[in-house]
């Protein structure tokens, strides 16, 4: 029979507690997780029968409506995107004046961006586009055609609420690898996440994953070129290659991304419609089934919004900030877009709301200003000029059927 263990010895000495049932005896072996059933007609044998595990309750998703419009499902998240942060000489002169007015040294870009804060605060995540490299805090600075701008634009972006910025553009390597690295260092120091340019080849293979209370968001960017320059290493800046972007999106999904944003830095400057490259790349990204939304910048003008096979494509956000151009009025205008995404009962995420707000840059002092119909900042340039900007922007935005597909103007003063 073998050696009797101490546990068996104690059980034999104490006896087994028996409970009579209609069909036999259930011998309860306390703490063992097994019930031994003995037939009343044959008390000399027993067979171990596993106790069925208690059913594990299906976890109930926690309602997470997110910021922004009313959530049509149990879980939603909203993302705000804006166009090029393009700092010219006039803007850093304004930032220096604003710093001096506050009794501070250096450059303060927060007043320039302040009008965006309310919009950013109405979303769970806000992503900017840092168009150019930044210099050291005291310069030297330069504007077009080879930018090297005050890094305080990055700290101001963080101050008004942005959590991340894309960095791949035709100006990314204006100041070579050194300028690229300096920009990434400034973003890190400010606490802004980033993607589009990289310090190392290993870093270039990583995917920017951002968390909101309800979702994990991946951001994948590419630029059409570098103004004839060649990066020191091929992995320094993400290129506008749909096959590469789709491969990254597949990896992002495997890593747990709920929402994947494709970002294009491309197009014809000052245009009012997307070019063939933009449409081909955007449609390829959507056709892959891996992207939840696609958007772009670079043209320094607002471009249409398209709903392609149920997926939103925002072709061009215009300028987030810029100087006032005396030649191209569209250069002075921009588009802020807030997209709400909701998760249905099957677990899939989709865009459930897309809203846009037109903007303009004004001067004396230089400021970003919304010309949305609810005029949250009051009059920007003049009532007539604001109306013209609004009309021009709306006509372009809706020229590819966006309104019929459900895109609408964002009236921030009407938000919940």
pLDDT in tens, 73-90: 999 999 999 999 999 999
What tokens does 92 get? 């850093």
Residue 416 has pLDDT above 90, yes or no: no
Residue 72 has pLDDT above 50, yes or no: yes
Residue 8 has pLDDT above 60, yes or no: no
The whole-number average pLDDT for the span 32-37 is 36
CB atoms < 10 A from the CB of 289, how many? Answer: 12
Residue 52 has pLDDT above 90, yes or no: no
Q: How many residues does the chain have?
A: 416
CA distances from 192 to 184, 206, 223, 226 (A): 9, 16, 20, 24
pLDDT at residue 62, as a whole number: 85
How many percent of the chain have pLDDT more than 70?
86
Residue 175 has pLDDT above 50, yes or no: yes
The whole-number average pLDDT for the span 25-36 is 35
The residue ranking higher by pLDDT, 292 or 60, is 292
The whole-number average pLDDT for the span 119-130 is 98
d(CA 392, CA 386): 10
CB atoms < 10 A from the CB of 15, how many? Answer: 7
Instruction: Measure the CA angle with vertex 349, ends 345 and 354; round to 5°.
Output: 120
3-state secondary structure of 86: coil
What tokens does 13 get? 């000495």
For residue 307, list its beta bridge partners.
312
3-state secondary structure of 166: strand
The whole-number average pLDDT for the span 255-279 is 98
61 pLDDT band, cuts 50/70/90, is confident
CB distance 158 to 187 below 8 Å: no
Q: Mean pLDDT across the chain, nearest whole number? A: 90
Q: Where are the beta strands (DSSP E) in 91-225?
A: 125-130, 164-166, 193-195, 208-211, 216-223
**pTM confidence score:** 0.86
Question: Which sequence spans correspond to the domains of the chain?
Answer: 6-50, 75-414
Lowest-pLDDT choice from 38-42, 224-228, 249-253, 298-302:
38-42
pLDDT at residue 38, as a whole number: 36
What tokens does 87 get? 């700092």
The whole-number average pLDDT for the span 277-303 is 98
pLDDT at residue 413, as a whole number: 96
DSSP class per residue in 282-319 = HHHHHHTT--SEEEEE-SSSB--EEEETTEEEE--BBE
58 pLDDT band, cuts 50/70/90, is low
pLDDT tens for 375-395 read 999 999 999 999 999 999 999
Q: Would you call 201 exposed, middle or buried from its count of C-beta atoms within 10 A (0-12, 13-18, 19+)?
A: exposed
pLDDT tens for 96-114 read 999 999 999 999 999 999 9
The whole-number average pLDDT for the span 122-142 is 97
CB distance 136 to 151 below 8 Å: yes
How many percent of the chain have pLDDT more than 90?
84
Question: Computed from CA positions of residues 143, 156, 79, 289, in that sequence, does the dihedral angle turn out positive or negative?
Answer: positive
The residue ranking higher by pLDDT, 5 or 284, is 284
| Dihedral pair phi/psi, residue 164, rounded to 5° | -155, 160
pLDDT at residue 354, as a whole number: 98
Residue 11 has pLDDT above 70, yes or no: no
pLDDT at residue 29, as a whole number: 33
CB distance 319 to 333 below 8 Å: yes
Helix axis angle, 242-254 to 276-287, nearest 10°: 30
pLDDT at residue 51, as a whole number: 65
d(CA 310, CA 251): 22
pLDDT at residue 48, as a whole number: 56
9 pLDDT band, cuts 50/70/90, is very low
| Four-CA torsion 99, 103, 105, 111, nearest 10 degrees | -20
What tokens does 170 get? 């035709």
pLDDT tens for 221-263 read 999 999 999 999 999 999 999 999 999 999 999 999 999 999 9
Q: What Rg, from alpha-carbon coordinates, does the chain have?
A: 30
CA-based end-to-end distance of the chain: 76
Q: What is the CATH number of domain 75-414?
A: 3.60.21.10
pLDDT at residue 60, as a whole number: 66
What are the counts of helices (DSSP H) followed by strands (DSSP E) for the chain? 11, 19
Lowest-pLDDT choice from 32-46, 48-62, 267-281, 320-334:
32-46
CA distances from 187 to 73, 130, 151 (A): 35, 9, 9
49 pLDDT band, cuts 50/70/90, is low
């Amino acid at each position: 029979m073998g050696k009797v263990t101490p546990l068996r010895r104690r059980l034999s000495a104490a006896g087994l507690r028996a409970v009579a049932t209609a069909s036999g005896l259930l011998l309860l072996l306390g703490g063992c997780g097994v019930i031994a059933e003995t037939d009343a007609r044959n008390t000399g044998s027993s067979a171990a029968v596993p106790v069925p595990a208690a059913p594990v309750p299906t976890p109930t998703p926690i309602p997470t409506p997110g910021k922004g419009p009313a959530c049509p499902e149990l879980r939603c998240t909203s993302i705000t995107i804006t166009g090029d942060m393009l700092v010219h000489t006039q803007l850093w002169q304004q930032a220096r004046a604003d710093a001096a007015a506050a009794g501070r040294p250096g450059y303060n870009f927060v007043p320039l961006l302040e009008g965006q804060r309310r919009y950013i605060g109405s979303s769970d995540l806000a992503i900017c586009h840092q168009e150019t490299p930044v210099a050291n805090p005291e310069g030297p600075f330069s504007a077009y055609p080879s930018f090297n701008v005050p890094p305080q634009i990055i700290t101001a972006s963080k101050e008004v609420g942005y959590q991340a910025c894309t960095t791949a553009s035709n100006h990314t390597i204006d100041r070579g690898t050194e300028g690229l690295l300096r920009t990434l260092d400034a973003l890190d120091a400010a606490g802004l996440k980033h993607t589009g340019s990289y310090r190392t080849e290993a870093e270039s293979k990583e995917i920017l994953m951002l968390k909101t209370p309800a979702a994990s968001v991946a951001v994948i960017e590419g630029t059409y070129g570098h103004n004839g320059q060649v990066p020191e290493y091929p992995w320094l800046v993400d290129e506008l290659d749909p096959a590469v972007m789709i491969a990254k999106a597949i990896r992002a999904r495997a890593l747990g991304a709920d929402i994947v944003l494709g970002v294009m830095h491309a197009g014809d400057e000052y245009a009012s419609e997307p070019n063939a490259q933009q449409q081909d790349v955007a449609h390829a990204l959507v056709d892959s089934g891996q992207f939840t939304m696609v958007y772009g910048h670079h043209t320094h003008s607002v471009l249409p919004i398209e709903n392609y096979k149920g997926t939103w494509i925002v072709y061009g956000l215009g300028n987030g900030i810029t100087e006032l151009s005396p030649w191209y009025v569209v250069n002075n205008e921009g588009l802020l877009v807030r997209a709400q995404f909701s998760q249905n009962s099957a677990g899939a995420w989709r865009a459930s709301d897309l809203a846009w707000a037109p903007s303009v840059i004004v001067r004396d002092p230089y400021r970003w200003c919304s010309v949305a119909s609810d005029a949250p900042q009051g009059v920007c340039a003049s009532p007539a000029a604001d109306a013209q900007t609004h009309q021009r922007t709306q006509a372009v935005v809706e020229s590819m059927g966006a309104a019929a597909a459900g895109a609408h103007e964002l009236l921030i003063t009407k938000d919940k």
